[in-house]
Each structure stands twice: as structure tokens, then as C-alpha cells.
Amino acid sequence: MERLEEIRKKIGECDDVIIEQLAIRMSHIQEIIAYKKATGIPILQPEQEKKQTDALEAKLGDCEFEEEILDIFKYIMKNSRRIQAKSLFDYNIFLIGFMGAGKSTIAGELQRKLEMERVEMDQMIVEKQGMSISEIFDEYGEAYFRNLESNTLIELQKKSQTIVSCGGGVVMREENADHMKKHGRVVLLTAKPETIYERVKDSDERPILNNNMNVEFISSLMEKRRERYQQVADVVVATDGKDVVTICEEIISKLIALDNADEKKKAQEAEI
């Protein structure tokens, strides 16, 4: 029994060292982020994570616990991304834009890269109503759906540091747009009508396009919405011909530039 207590004590001592070293490691992560933020170096560096894993594997050599230790490091890295996001964005990120602009895809990638929470407004509505968007339009009409969107946004008020992928028409209501501005930064994703058409043409999940699946209709609806989208956006990113990682990096660097400018302005105002 005494022997068992002795071993447990040793394990406790190991935990002390791990905790201490993890806290140091995490503070270095914060330093890296502050450095990247100040210098404008890309935040997402997928090749770096790969390098780190390779280095770890080399360090572990033929260690008996290689698999288990590598598994632990997966969580360490995941949490590094979380720390990174926490120090970058202390607000919600609302992704807006026309149907097929890539909001859901980009929200998913940002969620993976930044370990932030993510919500899909349309998905929330579908789950709550137990009906697809097309069924809601068919049964109750568009105005009813728009009310559901506004209510969903109100429900999202309690969220923080969350990526919200919005339905393409949400910002057309002024109250919704005001709400987004108040509770986070708004990122507009754009794409040419031809690009949108290519992305959505095989889907029948968008009632507004179901009987209008052509470039002319997309183009004219986009034109009607253009001014509002631009007005509401804090940041605009064109998605045509770009891959997902490039788009995410552009969003992050534009948001950081905006935050830096805001901080500078606040500091100048404080001096006056």
C-alpha cells in the first residue's frame, strides 16, 4: 500500500511538471500570435503543424508510448489553435453573401483552423422547425421564413467568439444587419454570377433559385442586394478562383488589420 502511494506521488509530481510546461508552452503560443498579428505574417500556416508533427515523431524515436504521446500532442495543438483564436477574435464573425458564395464551406474551414464554435443559421432553422427550407417556403411562404431568420439571430445574441454562417437573404432586413454589427464583425464573401451558378446549379435546396436557376436571374438578384451587402460588411473577400485556405487567410488578415486600426484609433483618442 505504501508503495502504491509512493508511485501515485510520483505521478502527481509528473503532473506538476506537465502543467508548468504546458502553461509556458501556451504563453509562447500567445507570443507567436502577438508577433504574427503585429508583423502581418499569415496566421494559418498548415505546413508548420506538419513540420511540428514530423519533429515530434523524430524525437519520440522508438519510444514505447509513441502513439499515446502523439495523440496527446494532437490535443495540445488543437488547444494552441484555440488560444490563437481567443487572442485574435473576441467577437462573433458573421459570414454573409449571396447563395453559393461559400459561407458554409468557409465557416467550416475557419472552425477547423481556429477551433472556434460555429453555427449555421439555416441549419438551426431546419432543426427547430423539423422541415427543410424549401418545405418552410412552400408551406408558410417567404415572409414567415424571414421572421424565423430574425428570431434565430436574436437567439444567437448569447453567443460569443462564434462563426455564424448566415443565409444569403438575412441582411436584407435592417434590424438583422444592425444586430450583426452590434454583436460581431461582418465578413462579406462575393463571387461572380457565373461562379455562383456553377456552385449551386445542381442543388434544389434553395427555393428562391429553384425555378430561376440561370445566370441572368442570379445576376439581377445579386444586383438588387449588392448595396446592402456592401453597406453591412466590415470586410469583403472575393472568392472566385481562390482555394479555401487562401480565402480564410484573407479573412483573418483583413479582420486583424481592422482590429489593429481600431486599436490605434482608440489609443489616439485616449491621448487627446
Question: Which residue, 61 or 130, is less far from ligand S3P as judged by CB?
Answer: 130
Tell whether residue 184 is a contact of ligand S3P (CB under 6 A).
no
CA dihedral 194, 252, 85, 39 (to 10 degrees): 160
Residues 109-128 that bind ligand S3P (CB under 6 A): 122
**Residues 144 and 136: beta-carbon distance below 8 Å:** yes
Tell whether residue 167 is a contact of ligand S3P (CB under 6 A).
yes
Q: Which stretch binds ligand S3P (CB under 6 A): 11-19, 36-44, 162-170, 180-188?
A: 162-170
Tell whether residue 252 is a contact of ligand S3P (CB under 6 A).
no
Half-sphere exposure of 60 (CA within 13 A, CB side): 17
CA distances from 53 to 47, 57, 66, 110, 165 (A): 10, 6, 12, 21, 31
Tell whether residue 168 is a contact of ligand S3P (CB under 6 A).
yes
Tell whether residue 237 is a contact of ligand S3P (CB under 6 A).
no
Question: Which residue, 44 or 101, is less far from ligand S3P as judged by CB?
Answer: 101
Question: Which residue, 182 or 224, is less far from ligand S3P as judged by CB?
Answer: 224
Tell whether residue 106 is a contact of ligand S3P (CB under 6 A).
no
Q: Measure the CA–CA gap between 59 and 66, rounded to whole angstroms.
A: 10
Could you give the strand order of the β-sheet that contains 92-96, starting from the edge strand earlier in sequence?
117-120, 162-165, 92-96, 184-190, 235-238
Residue numbers of the site for ligand S3P (CB under 6 A)? 99, 103, 122, 133, 167-169, 206-208
